[in-house]
Amino acid sequence: MATFKVIGIAPSPYTQRVLVVLNEKGADYFLQEIDRMGNAQKKPEHLLLQPFGQIPVIQDGDFTLFESRAIVRYIADKYEGQGPSLYGKTLEERALVEQWLAVEVEEFDSPTGAAVFQLVFGPKYVGIPTDEAIVSSSLEKLAKVLDVYEAHLSKSKFLAGDFLSIADLVHLPLLFFLVTVGNRGEVVTSRKHVKAWYETMSSLPSWYKVLSLLSP
Amino acid sequence: MAAIKVIGVPTSTCTQRVLVVLIEKGAEYVIQPLDMMNGAHKKPEHLAIQPFGQIPVIVDGTFTLFESRGIVRYLADKYEGQGPSLYGKTLHEKALVEQWLAVEIAITAAVVQLVLGPKFRGIPTDEAIVYSSLEKLEKVLDVYEAHLAKSKFLAGDFLSIADLVQLPFLFLLVEVAKRGEVVTSRKHVHKWYETISSLPSWKKVLSLYAWVLLT
């Protein structure tokens, strides 16, 4: 019986980040879905675990941790000796993983998140229509960022080097929602190396396992 | 060990993050200033090492690294055996440092909107944005207040990079934007801020650009 609990919901990109990394590591865990529509994340029981009222949260035995970006690093550290090394094997490799994790925060998350919210989550979960102006301006910003990724990935198989890492995987869920669910992936598919990188990641068995949790 | 070269300017909050960690660790460094006013960060020589055209960048021997959030973690790892342990000593401690490093992102975003936009990027202060940024900041600091009532520093009873990365931005908010009430009105946040802003390492960073504060 797994003692590693993930509290979140299957369709949330930030929960999915954690799940795909757990799957890559072949770690045992179970997902406890919360009633997002019923606002469970703002209730006292949840706030005790996550004071900002967000998901995901993990409970590994009696150790609680929140923020998907912290959780994926914890998993990579804890399962260092198991599965692919998702955090690099040397001081410098790890630093490069951290560099691209920082780029995801600073450059990628905001425009991609805004576009995906407008295209998918707003209409589907909040009942607000897509604001195309926000989509366009977000994709314009993302295009400039992906130009840099394109140049980099033409010389590097993955972001931190020739090995898959958590720096790559943190991008996967939002890219999936943009390209495959939101159908606005030209900004990705028009860039040869970004496209190949996305296709490699989205073909991982560990990602299929995450998708299998989604209902149509 | 050869000195680490820091390409940046001491007036930049992100460069300051790197400097305060270097100084806490007692590591040797040298600042190579970049003429940002004349667009040096967008020229090919700089873009070759930082393709997003930003600062800081560090050069450690033959190894180049960018993004202050990446750099501070590298420094904490590299100098693990030297100076205070800024990354925790156990798997769980490190995870908690990472948890609070992740929370920092929201504070920085709010401060950038409140302060850096108007002051340094010529973006006029939009009252609606100021209000919503302050609101977000207050909500985050409420959580900090409850947490710091039970924890001396963010990740536990030890100073870590999770505390240090916030310092330059909070300093801007309190001392430059004069919006310190959000900090001083919260007893434990205030105490924590006083502790970290009194660190000799932070005073050293301030001394590197004290002249700018006069303008």
Q: Is B179 on the interface with A (CB under 8 A)?
A: no
Residue A216 lies in a domain: no
Residue B177 lies in a domain: yes
The reply to whether residue A102 touches residue B68, judged by beta carbons under 8 angstroms, is: yes
Residue B50 amino acid letter: Q
Q: Give the pLDDT of chain A (216 residues) as one tens digit per residue.
A: 789 999 999 999 999 999 999 999 999 999 999 987 778 988 999 999 999 999 999 999 999 999 999 999 999 999 999 999 999 999 999 999 999 999 999 999 999 999 999 999 999 988 999 999 999 999 999 999 999 999 999 999 999 999 999 999 999 999 999 999 999 999 999 999 999 999 999 999 999 999 999 977
Beta bridge partners of B8: B33
Q: What is the pLDDT of residues B155-212, one digit of tens each?
A: 999 999 999 999 999 998 898 888 899 999 999 999 999 999 999 999 999 998 766 5
| Pick from B74, B94, B103: CB nearest A67 | B103
Q: What is the pLDDT confidence band of residue B121, given thresholds at 50, 70 and 90?
A: low
Cα A189 from chain centroid (whole Å)? 19
Which of B78, B103, B136 terminates a domain? The answer is B78
Residue B85 lies in a domain: no
Token pair 């675990």 is at which residue? A49
Domain shared by A98 and A189, yes or no? yes
Which of A85, A113, A137 terminates a domain? The answer is A85
Task: Provide the CATH number for the domain around residue B48.
Answer: 3.40.30.10
Domain shared by A97 and A199, yes or no? yes
Domain shared by B132 and B186, yes or no? yes
Range of the domain at A186: 91-208
Residue B116 lies in a domain: yes
Domain shared by A48 and A129, yes or no? no
Half-sphere exposure of A45 (CA within 13 A, CB side): 5
Domain shared by B125 and B161, yes or no? yes
- Minimal CA separation from A137 to chain B, in Å: 18
Domain shared by B126 and B29, yes or no? no
Domain shared by A100 and A200, yes or no? yes
The reply to whether residue A95 touches residue B52, judged by beta carbons under 8 angstroms, is: no
Domain shared by A146 and A190, yes or no? yes
Contact between A27 and A86 under an 8 Å Cβ cutoff? The reply is no
Domain shared by A8 and A53, yes or no? yes
Domain shared by A60 and A104, yes or no? no
Residue A214 lies in a domain: no
Which of A20, A53, A85 terminates a domain? The answer is A85
Contacts of A6 (CB under 8 A, 6+ apart): A15, A18, A19, A22, A29, A30, A31, A32, A56, A57, A58
Domain shared by B95 and B191, yes or no? yes
How far is Cα A112 from Cα A143, in angstroms, rounded to an integer?
A: 10
Which residues in chain A are contacts of B146 at CB distance < 8 A?
A: 51
Which residues in chain A are contacts of B70 at CB distance < 8 A?
A: 95, 98-102
Residue B154 lies in a domain: yes
Contact between A87 and A166 under an 8 Å Cβ cutoff? The reply is yes
Task: Provide the CATH number for the domain around residue B131.
Answer: 1.20.1050.10
Backbone angles phi, psi at A163, to 5 degrees: -125, 140
The reply to whether residue A102 touches residue B143, judged by beta carbons under 8 angstroms, is: no
Residue B215, pLDDT > 60, answer no
Domain shared by B64 and B127, yes or no? no
The reply to whether residue A102 touches residue B140, judged by beta carbons under 8 angstroms, is: no
Q: What is the pLDDT of residues A178-198, one digit of tens each?
A: 999 999 999 999 999 999 999
ipTM higher than threshold 0.90: yes
Task: Provide the CATH number for the domain around residue A32.
Answer: 3.40.30.10
Residues in chain A: 216
Residue B131 lies in a domain: yes
Q: What is the mean pLDDT of residues B18-34?
A: 96
Which residues in chain B are contacts of A152 at CB distance < 8 A?
A: 51
The predicted pLDDT at position B119 comes to: 58
Domain shared by A12 and A46, yes or no? yes
- Minimal CA separation from B97 to chain A, in Å: 8
The reply to whether residue A102 touches residue B67, judged by beta carbons under 8 angstroms, is: yes
The predicted pLDDT at position B117 comes to: 61
Domain shared by B166 and B66, yes or no? no
Domain shared by B70 and B97, yes or no? no
Residue B35 lies in a domain: yes
Domain shared by A97 and A202, yes or no? yes
Task: Provide the CATH number for the domain around residue A198.
Answer: 1.20.1050.10
How far is Cα A34 from Cα A12, in angstroms, rounded to an integer?
A: 11
How far is Cα A34 from Cα A53, in angstroms, rounded to an integer?
A: 12
* Domain count within chain B: 2
How far is Cα A11 from Cα A97, in angstroms, rounded to an integer?
A: 26
Domain shared by A191 and A112, yes or no? yes
A-B contacts (CB, under 8 Å):
79
Which of B53, B78, B103 terminates a domain? The answer is B78
Residue A128 lies in a domain: yes
Q: Is B28 on the interface with A (CB under 8 A)?
A: no
Domain shared by B58 and B100, yes or no? no
The predicted pLDDT at position A16 comes to: 98
DSSP tag of A180: I
Which of A85, A118, A148 terminates a domain? The answer is A85
Domain shared by B97 and B186, yes or no? yes
Q: What is the pLDDT confidence band of residue B72, given thresholds at 50, 70 and 90?
A: very high
Residues in chain B: 215
- Minimal CA separation from B62 to chain A, in Å: 11
- Minimal CA separation from A185 to chain B, in Å: 22
- Minimal CA separation from A119 to chain B, in Å: 23
Which residues in chain B are contacts of A105 at CB distance < 8 A?
A: 69, 105
Domain shared by B74 and B95, yes or no? no
Mutation to test the B interface, candidates A41, A71, A99, A141, most B Cβ within 10 Å: A99
Contact between B8 and B14 under an 8 Å Cβ cutoff? The reply is yes
Range of the domain at B102: 91-214
Domain shared by A151 and A204, yes or no? yes
Domain shared by A119 and A199, yes or no? yes
Which residues in chain B are contacts of A73 at CB distance < 8 A?
A: 95, 98
* Domain count within chain A: 2
Residue A118 lies in a domain: yes
